């Protein structure tokens, strides 16, 4: 199996609040004066999407629901994806390019903490004006420089809040947002969905049917690996809610916010609201009975050939990343009948036969693929050598799993490698790789189940972006231990806001997410747990605003080199002399 570099949980959460890869959000007023709001949740397909319900308490004004990825906890922190309350207030988010936050130095930290902002809005606010007034005063301590909030209320006021500022629309018929910065200098022509939505809302009626049809017209069906996982439509006046799952716009799950609240504090997997949907049928059968049984279910599905092809593609791409190749082999064979070119599926099929003990079949699959697609980017030599038990030359890292002599298929998950299956040698499962400098978290998958090696230390990793998790950790060129490090910087202007971006998780892998705290007019600082040496740069929120440092140097391509902190370093203080975007 080829590793899918799915750091999705962390990368998406870096926007804080979570912003989807792509979303179409729209709202409008019908002839009766009712306000409708809708959202397409667009991303690589995910089986773990939640509808989280929070009834009113003694400390809140309203009950509400939220939507989240991967965890119910993400439905009550700053990773909320969207939501609605019983007062008829709705919001959702779009991803936009990293953007400088306007007048950030004037804004305060929310007293209850950034994690509480999004739930506080739904629990206590009724109007768009209240939300915009809130963000004129407060802002998130991290992130929210790559997302914008689309807001609507039952009184017919629409709004946008983003890093570039905010806007309020009154007495307007509709509002649309996609993945460009509406309050700044974003280009609406950059998104194919925006003109479709605007045209349909300008010319046609506004009601459930038109909103459903517009969700369908702007949905993703695998383009760039993205799907519309679900669509949600709300009538903000009646509280009625409709959900549609994975491009099926004929069979909604209909409910209302009052119905949800009456059942108390609960979280629902959205796929469980659609147990008869083909993808849910297959997933549940796969988990209960395995790949062979699920494939029989697949063959018996009474759906169109096009729909069946789409379901097979989604199922294979999603399941294969987390289960064994052998369990998914029937789906792989089916998928490759219609999509014969994609190399990682060909490799997965070959690896499945290799793990079944048919080495010659595995080799013939790869050789046939190379003959069909001679220009392929697949490292054919590497995978053929692995099938013969030969590891890459120049490997600097050995991964071992001890025991499990009867396992059939073993993978290491979490490393940025082409082929992540392990080879059985001398009573161990072994992989050898050439890895660049960095800190890597990994575990093993044995016959479809996640395990850890009993001879390798296991660490607990946690951050504000995700639930804590267990992992083996590998450090290449950096210290195994972390060191509490305070980094200080002097700035040229009193109003300067400074972000740090660097080479490890604590500095969000070169994303400008964490802000330094203001110590005085011209001093900023941040304290982080770092593997050393740490490499980093400063920005004002994106790479166009990179900091120009005192006594810094450039590489041979004219790019500024990062700052570095080594073990026993005597320097953790720096001076910014200017900003890249301010130099003419």
Domain range annotation of the chain: 23-273, 391-477, 483-582
CA torsion angle for 474, 418, 358, 346 (degrees, to 10)? 150
Q: Find the distance separating the first CA and the last CA of the chain, reported in whole Å.
A: 50
Quote the pLDDT of residue 321: 66
Q: For residue range 471-514, what is the model confidence (pLDDT) as tens digits?
A: 999 999 999 999 999 999 999 999 999 999 999 999 999 999 99
Contact 150, 110 (CB under 8 A): no
- Give the DSSP per-residue string, 336-371: HHH----HHHHHHHHHHHHHTT-HHHHHHHHHHHHH
Domain 483-582 has CATH 2.60.40.10: yes
- Average pLDDT of the chain? 91
CB atoms within 10 A of CB 415: 18
Quote the pLDDT of residue 325: 66
Residue 3 has pLDDT above 60, yes or no: no
CATH number of 391-477: 2.60.40.10
Gap between the Cα atoms of 38 and 235, Å rounded? 9
Cis before 37 (ω within 30): no
Gap between the Cα atoms of 266 and 191, Å rounded? 36
- Tokens representing 185? 């200098």
Residue 514 sits at the vertex; the CA angle it makes with 511 and 518, to the nearest 5 degrees, is: 140
Residue 189 has pLDDT above 90, yes or no: no
Mean pLDDT in residue range 362-371: 94
Strands 108-109, 138-139: parallel, antiparallel or unpaired by DSSP? parallel
Strands 483-490, 573-579: parallel, antiparallel or unpaired by DSSP? parallel
Gap between the Cα atoms of 466 and 460, Å rounded? 12
User: Is the backbone of residue 16 left (phi > 0), alpha (psi -120 to 50) or beta?
Assistant: left
Same fold, 23-273 and 391-477: no
Q: What is the assigned CATH class of domain 23-273?
A: alpha beta
211 burial class (0-12, 13-18, 19+ CB within 10 angstroms)?
A: buried
Ranking 254-263, 296-305, 341-350 by mean pLDDT, the lowest is 341-350
Q: For residue range 422-440, what is the model confidence (pLDDT) as tens digits?
A: 999 888 999 999 999 999 9
CB atoms within 10 A of CB 557: 5
Contacts for 11 with CB less than 8 Å, ≥ 6 apart:
509, 511
Beta strands, E only, 107-157:
108-109, 138-139, 147-153
- Tokens representing 416? 């940025």
Gap between the Cα atoms of 261 and 283, Å rounded? 29
Residue 222 has pLDDT above 60, yes or no: yes
């Amino acid at each position: 199996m080829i590793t899918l570099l799915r750091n999705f949980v962390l990368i998406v959460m870096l926007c804080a609040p979570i912003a989807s890869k792509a979303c179409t959000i729209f709202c409008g007023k019908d002839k009766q004066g009712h306000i409708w709001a809708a959202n397409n949740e667009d991303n690589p397909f995910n089986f773990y999407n939640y509808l989280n319900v929070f009834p009113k308490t003694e400390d809140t004004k309203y009950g509400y629901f939220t939507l989240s990825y991967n965890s119910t906890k993400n439905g009550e922190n700053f990773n909320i994806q969207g939501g609605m309350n019983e007062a008829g207030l709705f919001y959702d988010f779009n991803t936009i390019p990293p953007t400088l936050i306007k007048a950030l130095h004037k804004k305060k930290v929310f007293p209850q903490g950034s994690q509480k902002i999004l739930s506080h809005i739904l629990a206590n606010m009724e109007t768009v004006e209240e939300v915009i007034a809130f963000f004129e005063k407060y802002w998130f301590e991290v992130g929210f420089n790559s997302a914008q909030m689309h807001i609507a209320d039952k009184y017919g006021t629409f709004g946008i809040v983003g890093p570039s500022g905010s806007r309020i629309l009154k007495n307007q018929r509709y509002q649309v947002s996609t993945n460009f910065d509406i309050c700044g200098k974003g280009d609406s022509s950059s998104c194919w969905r925006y003109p479709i939505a605007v045209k349909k809302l300008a010319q046609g009626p506004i009601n459930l049917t038109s909103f459903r049809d517009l969700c369908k017209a702007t949905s993703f069906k695998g383009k760039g690996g993205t799907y519309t996982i679900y669509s949600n439509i709300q009538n903000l006046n009646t509280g009625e809610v409709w959900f549609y799952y994975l491009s099926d716009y004929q069979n909604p799950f209909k409910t209302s916010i009052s119905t949800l609240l009456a059942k108390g504090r609960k979280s629902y997997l959205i796929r469980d609201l659609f147990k008869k949907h083909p993808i849910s049928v297959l997933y549940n059968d796969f988990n209960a009975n395995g790949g062979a049984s699920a494939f029989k279910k697949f063959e018996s599905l009474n759906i169109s050939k096009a729909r069946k092809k789409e379901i097979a593609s989604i199922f294979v791409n999603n399941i294969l990343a987390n289960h064994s190749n052998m369990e998914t082999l029937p789906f792989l064979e089916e998928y490759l009948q219609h999509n014969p070119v994609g190399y990682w599926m060909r490799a997965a099929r070959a690896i499945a036969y290799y793990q079944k003990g048919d080495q010659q079949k595995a080799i013939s699959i790869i050789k046939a693929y190379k003959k069909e697609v001679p220009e392929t980017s697949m490292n054919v030599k590497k995978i053929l050598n692995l099938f013969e038990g030969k590891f890459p030359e120049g490997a600097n890292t050995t991964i071992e799993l001890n025991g499990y002599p009867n396992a059939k298929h073993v993978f290491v998950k979490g490393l940025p490698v082409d082929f992540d299956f392990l080879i059985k040698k001398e009573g161990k499962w072994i992989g050898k790789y050439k890895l660049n400098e960095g800190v890597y978290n990994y575990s093993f998958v044995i016959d479809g189940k996640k395990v850890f090696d009993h001879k390798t230390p296991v660490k607990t990793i946690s951050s504000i972006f995700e639930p804590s998790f267990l992992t083996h950790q590998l450090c290449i060129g950096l210290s195994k231990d972390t060191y509490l490090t305070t980094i200080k910087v002097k700035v040229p202007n009193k109003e300067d806001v400074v972000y740090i971006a660097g080479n490890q998780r604590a500095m969000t892998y070169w994303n400008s997410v964490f802000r330094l705290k203001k110590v005085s007019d011209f001093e900023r600082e941040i304290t982080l747990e770092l593997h050393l040496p740490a490499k980093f740069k400063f920005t004002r929120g994106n790479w166009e605003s990179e900091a120009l440092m005192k006594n810094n140097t450039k590489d041979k391509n004219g790019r500024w080199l990062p700052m570095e902190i080594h073990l026993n370093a005597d320097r953790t203080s720096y001076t910014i002399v200017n900003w890249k975007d301010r130099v003419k």
